[in-house]
Structure 1
Amino acid sequence: PRDLVVPVKVVGDTLGYIHVRLKIDDFTEPIRRNLYLRLFSTLLIFSGGLVLAVIISAHYVSPVVRLAHAAENVAAGDLSQELPVEGKDEVGRLTRSFNEMIVRLRQNRALEEAVRENQYLTHLGKLSSGMAHEIRNPLNFIGLAVDHLDAMTEGKGGEGEAEKRQVIGRIKEEIGRLNELVTNFILYGRPPELQRAAVRIPELVVGVLRLAEERLQAQSISCRTKFGDALEIHADPDMLRRALVNLVGNAVDAMPNGGTLSVYAGPRPGGRYSVVVEDTGIGIPAEDRERIFEPYFTSKVSGLGLGLVLTKKIVDAHGGEIFVDSTPGKGTRMEISLPGGAAAEGAPG
């Protein structure tokens, strides 16, 4: 305690004294305790908030993260993802919808695989039927011709020998058809493997036309050729020869009653090299023009419908393009454009 004495004066005279005794407590300890209590309360509230945030994160954020990872796996093609459904809140509803989506995707994939397998079997059936038909006819002819070869020359002298040579020529032609059929079938089933070399297109064209000479004469088809500068291009000669054989063969097939076959080859502006095969045959109907490069599509009585498909594959492998222009009843123009040498003016066609 502390004593305080205060004098009482009036006009300079001291009339008396006031004695005050003060009892002052020490507040330092209560203030310190209050400070510690506030600090503890703050830490307790912060810790409780942190624990609550962790609980909320585990309940809401973690399932969303798992859902995002599962969605990434599904986008990569893994449909085996399926997440446990926890609760009936928004996250649970989202997880349930995700699982239902996965089930539908699995069903769609199974359906697509079934459709693909059915299409494959359908194509295989058409291919097998076409192969059997195409092979059976030449084999039947060859078998009958071989059986009658000796009878053809018996007692006929020179006339019989000429007939025999004609039949042997037909046999060779049918064997060539069989070989061409099998080769096209084998090449269609695998991507072209180019063996590039320096190639002069006019020489290839002349060789192909020489092979078709007998058919051209038999069907009264006249042939016209025109070649530009005989530049060399870097290409696979065997593959290009096969493509030209297919184009020329189709043109001849389109003119059973005769006509004109025109083949032009030469450089084009822009560093390209062009080969044009044009006929005056029956032409291609407008509704079939978009389908001529589809496998197994053909408007012929015989054939597998692989010739133009293989031709396009060969042209694409060379970095080229193929263009079709046809008028029913007037003829068809097929043009192959390939990467070539320098452009030349006055190209044919």
Structure 2
Amino acid sequence: MPQNRRKRTWRPLFAPSLRTKLILIMLSVSMSLVTLLVFFYYQTEKDLFNEFQRQTSELSKAVQIGLEGAAVKNINDAKSLEKYLTSLNAKGIKEISVISSSDRILASTSRENVGKWISQRRKEMIFKAELGEPVTGEGMTYNVVIPVVSGQNTVGYIHLTLSAEDFSAFLRLSVLRRMAAAVVILAVGTVLTVLLAGRYIRPIDQMVKVAGKVAAGDLDQKLPTDRRDEIGALARSFNHMVSRLRLDRDLRERLRTAEHLAGIGQVAHSVAHEIKNPLNFISLSIDHMGEVYRPSDPEQAARFESMVRNIKGEIERIGRFAESYLEYGRPLELKRQRTSLTEIVDSVLEMVAARATLDRFSIRKEYAILPELNVDPEFIRTCLYNLVINAFDAMPAGGELVVSGEAKPQWVALSFADNGSGVDAELAEKLFEPYVTAKSKGLGLGLALTRKIIEAHGGRIDYRPAAQGGSIFTLHLPVSEEGIA
């Protein structure tokens, strides 16, 4: 027979576990979040740098204008200062004022302040500037006071009012960008986590339902095992556990059946042993009555002899049943000897020849000279006789029995094929079990005893339905005593 080749299944080189997948997702989310935050931080720093550069450029320009104003012949030349101030791009600078040494505003980008005296607050700023603190911050506004020196004398001051609102706008925009990036990344991570959770929750829910059915006693449940992760391993372990439970259930049922049959067998063995002697006495009494009380009238004598034969036949049948019980329950002690299997088969067929002729059975032999085997001839003869009688019983209206043999170097096969009613498929599965029979008058021990004897010889017995109806029983006996593998 060709050997079954194991189906090769493809396994991935790297099958990440659930823990690894979760860690990878968290690392991906964290790395993405850090990357975007670093990017936006760099972009914000760049924008801030550009804005500061612009503001510094304008501040430098303002200082340059102030210095040019101070370099004129007279700082009190209002027209020259106005010209310089109007040439300044005031974006980012709220106000530029030129203050004289006498604390009066000579020029300003805010024309309503021109000619006014400075406030006490500005005087404090000028005082701090002379002490080395030119910058004063008030909320989002910064004041810068720059003294204008000509030679050794301070001829005036330049007051710059800068607004930090532009920088705050950049900072707010940067914060909003970072928050938006974090929300997007968290949303993506959440979606991936939900998808991954759904992928693992569905089979777990299925496993819970199947486990509930198994707990309720339904051991025919099975989980799919096509996954290569922890869920697949758990499903395979679950299926293995259920298969072990099924095996345990079958073993317990067999044990319960065996205990039941053992009890019945003990009772039947005792009954069979007890009725053998009374049956012998009844049989002898019937023989005596047949001789003493035979009627003289030929017609009545014929009916009387028929009745006596029927009674003796029933007594013999009960005796055979009792003997079957005793033989099945008795340990087999084989008395092996070299015996021609052909002679055993011929002797059995010769024993049933009279019944075959009476009940219209034809027996066709399809075997040549079979080899000699080291067997117990009486036990083998009993097996063959049981099979032939079963074939006759399966053909109540007559039929054909084909006996065929085949010899191989390691074993010998002997088949008995009838064209009777056959065996139901449900009954065929337990045909060789004790007390299983399809006959209304049978006890179901013949085939069980036959299997016991054949297996004790190291062989086996098989059943299969015939193609055209009927049954085929085949005995396989080993040529040597080692048995059939």
* Interval of TM-score (by shorter of Structure 1 and Structure 2): 0.5 to 0.7
Look up the equivalent residue of 1:248 and give its one-letter code: V
> CA 1:161 to 1:203, structure 2 compared with 1: closer, same or farther past 3 Å?
farther
Q: Which residue of 2 aligns with 1:273?
A: 412
Correspondent of 2:437 among 273, 279, 298: 298
C-alpha RMSD of matched pairs (Å):
3.9
Look up the equivalent residue of 1:333 and give its one-letter code: I
> CA 1:160 to 1:210, structure 2 compared with 1: closer, same or farther past 3 Å?
farther
Structure 2-normalised TM-score?
0.40
1:313-345 superposed Cα distances (whole Å, 9 cap, x missing partner): 11111111212111498211111011127xxxx
Q: How does 1:1-349 map to 2 (within 5 A)?
A: 120-121=259-260, 124-125=263-264, 149=290, 153-157=294-298, 166-167=306-307, 169-265=309-405, 267-327=406-466, 330-340=469-479
Look up the equivalent residue of 1:295 and give its one-letter code: P
2 CA distance for matches of 1:218 and 1:132? 34
Q: CA deviation at 1:277?
A: 1.1
Look up the equivalent residue of 2:333 and give its one-letter code: E
Look up the equivalent residue of 1:321 and give its one-letter code: R
Structure 1: 5+ residue stretches without partners: 1-111, 342-349
Q: Which residue of 1 aligns with 2:70?
A: none
> CA 1:262 to 1:227, structure 2 compared with 1: closer, same or farther past 3 Å?
same
Contact persistence 1:130–1:303 (CA under 8 A) = no
2 CA distance for matches of 1:253 and 1:123? 28
Contact persistence 2:415–2:473 (CA under 8 A) = yes
> CA 1:206 to 1:220, structure 2 compared with 1: closer, same or farther past 3 Å?
same
SS of match in other structure, 1:292: coil
> CA 1:115 to 1:310, structure 2 compared with 1: closer, same or farther past 3 Å?
closer
1:21-77 superposed Cα distances (whole Å, 9 cap, x missing partner): xxxxxxxxxxxxxxxxxxxxxxxxxxxxxxxxxxxxxxxxxxxxxxxxxxxxxxxxx
2 CA distance for matches of 1:239 and 1:122? 23
Q: CA deviation at 1:173?
A: 4.0
Structure 2: 5+ residue stretches without partners: 1-250, 481-485
SS of match in other structure, 1:291: coil
1 CA distance for matches of 2:413 and 2:252? 41
Task: Find the structure with the greater CA-based Rg.
Answer: 2
1:298-323 superposed Cα distances (whole Å, 9 cap, x missing partner): 12112221111111111111111212
Q: CA deviation at 1:271?
A: 2.6
Look up the equivalent residue of 1:231 and give its one-letter code: P
Q: Which has the higher contact order (CA 8 A, sep 6+)?
A: 1
Contact persistence 1:323–1:334 (CA under 8 A) = yes
SS of match in other structure, 1:244: helix
1 CA distance for matches of 2:380 and 2:283? 30
1 CA distance for matches of 2:252 and 2:447? 28
Contact persistence 1:284–1:327 (CA under 8 A) = no
2 CA distance for matches of 1:117 and 1:153? 53
Q: Which residue of 1 aligns with 2:155?
A: none
1:161-185 superposed Cα distances (whole Å, 9 cap, x missing partner): 5555555554554444334322321
2 CA distance for matches of 1:322 and 1:282? 20
SS of match in other structure, 1:195: coil
Look up the equivalent residue of 1:232 and give its one-letter code: E
1 CA distance for matches of 2:435 and 2:467? 21
Contact persistence 2:400–2:418 (CA under 8 A) = yes
1:126-173 superposed Cα distances (whole Å, 9 cap, x missing partner): 88589989x89x97x97997697469842323x555555555554554
Q: CA deviation at 1:295?
A: 1.2
